Structure 1
Amino acid sequence: MTQKKITITDVALQAGVSVTTVSLVLSGKGRISPATAERVHQTIDELGYVPNRQAATLRGGSSGVIGLIVNDICDPFYAEMTAGLSEAFEAQGKILFLTQSGRDGKGMQRCFDSLLAQGVEGVVLAGGADSLLGLKEKADEQGIPLVCAARSIGLEGVDLISPDNMLAAKMATEYLVKRGHRQIAYLGGNSSSLTRAERLGGFCAILLQYGLPFRSDWVIECDYQQRVVADATETLLSHQPNISAIICHNASVAIGAYFGVLRSGRTIGSKGVDTFLEQQVALIGFGDAPGAELTEPPLTLISSSAREVGHSAAGRLLQRIGGVSLQQQTIILTPRLIERGSA
């Protein structure tokens, strides 16, 4: 029988320390007490652990590998942002190492420890608002720079690159209002989402500016899976037939809403104040997706510049990896309207 290979995780469990601590001991970096270092070395000897030479090279700080943590790679925004990161890093000879922490971010600490153990040169954090405690301190111990990308709330002392979610929602809402819509719903996203909270803030601000009422029963929370969205849209329109326009939380939600509108017996488009009489519903969403141009009519969207967020985050992290002395900075990217036929 083949003997099970001893891993760094086995050493950490046996020594009663974290994987990061073992990595710090092996690399000779960080503020590790002599007693802890001795215990780790003793455990290594007892278990017969042989450090991977490639991993040892990575820990030396010239690995060429950049870590990325996202909640859910299926989210269209983060998929596009990841592409932007990869383009920018590959142009500089770097490789992007992707990990996924789960939609609720519960795996954030595990992903972060794994990336540090592999000796990445830097880490891009793109999710897990409630799971960031202690990450900056861990990164500082190994001299690993961090960048927060596309998050509404970053870490103190860490660069943040984000789209302007509130402005995007203001643009979407005002676009609809100026085309004659007065009964506008907001569909999608979870109540715990900071991005959704910012967008709802922009949505409400424009309603208030134009003297339109905010109706909580027209703000629908739901997952971005298109079947779920289609069901939610059909239910909303059956209960609230006066709704003439829907703002969708992202491009995926907009596509799901498209099918929900059709299932409700109505059509997609915008003819201003006569929309209800024409049984039309205007749709506008955030972000972009390949399928958005394939619907009939194609979907109008407010682009959140996901790929540009990736490019900007990569550039900032590469500067820090290169030792450039920089003050912490928050970079907010301006959204733009992609006008098509759905609104």
Structure 2
Amino acid sequence: MKSTYSATAQRVIAMERDAVGTLATRIDDAFDKACELLLNCRGRVVVTGMGKSGHIGNKIAATLASTGTPAFFVHPGEASHGDMGMITAGDVVIALSNSGSTAELVTLIPLLKLLAVPVIALTGNPASELATSADVHLDVGVEVEACPLNLAPTSSTTVSLVMGDALAIALLEARGFTADDFAFSHPGGALGRRLLLKIDGIMHTGDAIPRVDVGCTLSTALLEMSSKALGMTTVLNSDGSLAGIFTDGDLRRAIDRGVDIHRAGIDEVMTRNCRTVKPGMMAAEALRIMEDNKITVLVALDNDGKPVGVVHTHDLLKAGVA
């Protein structure tokens, strides 16, 4: 039985893959025209569709909205009972119907023409009423559904979804939409945290910053490191500016060299000219610096070169950036 399940899965995947492959041959001037209509839309993109096409339309609207094209979904049945007021002049409508004859969608066509709202139809029947009435028709037809009864929308919905993705990404590139733009529309997600979070919100400040003075003993530095539990300490000049840092790695290297940790001075073993950053830096940029330099900690300095914060890779991990 398990082999039968697997064989069915392989057949379905192959059929849908072939259907998507065929779709690539239909990208033509109509696709370009659809993109121009959407790019020049002064209002919002309204996506509509019934049944399974509606579910795909919902996903297309969400993808458009998250990639720089304001969009939302309107159920065509509800549109005929009040929600038509959600569509205004200046909008563009994307209508999905495999048959191209879905009554709830066809009913909307005259109303959309009265509003002078352009319609982009995604159907599997170029001769259908929806296709011929639309300003642009994108052919998303399939020869056969993956369903063995050729009834349940399977290959057809996959192809429609891929066409929607193609539109969304084409518009994303045309707008010059960036990762920062994406993060702005996803502030609660992992990418939003990665791209919008600044080190100021996660770095250790004030008394939490490990500090020792130039000229102190290594043992004094070790005590400060232990009390602050960051695996490092800053080493300060007499004016409070940063002279260097001392880390766990420096300690290991000192021991390897046979340095007497009880008698040595911090000046002998600290790292000078260490990597530093400024407050206000994006946490993602701090992470990149750490990764590029194979380090685990950065000291943030003010304009006078004095430490105002310390950020550790553990802080970035806790914040969901790393």
Q: TM-score, normalised by structure 1?
A: 0.29
Higher relative contact order (CA 8 A, sep 6+): 1
Q: TM-score, normalised by structure 2?
A: 0.30
Whichever of the two has the greater Rg, that structure is: 2
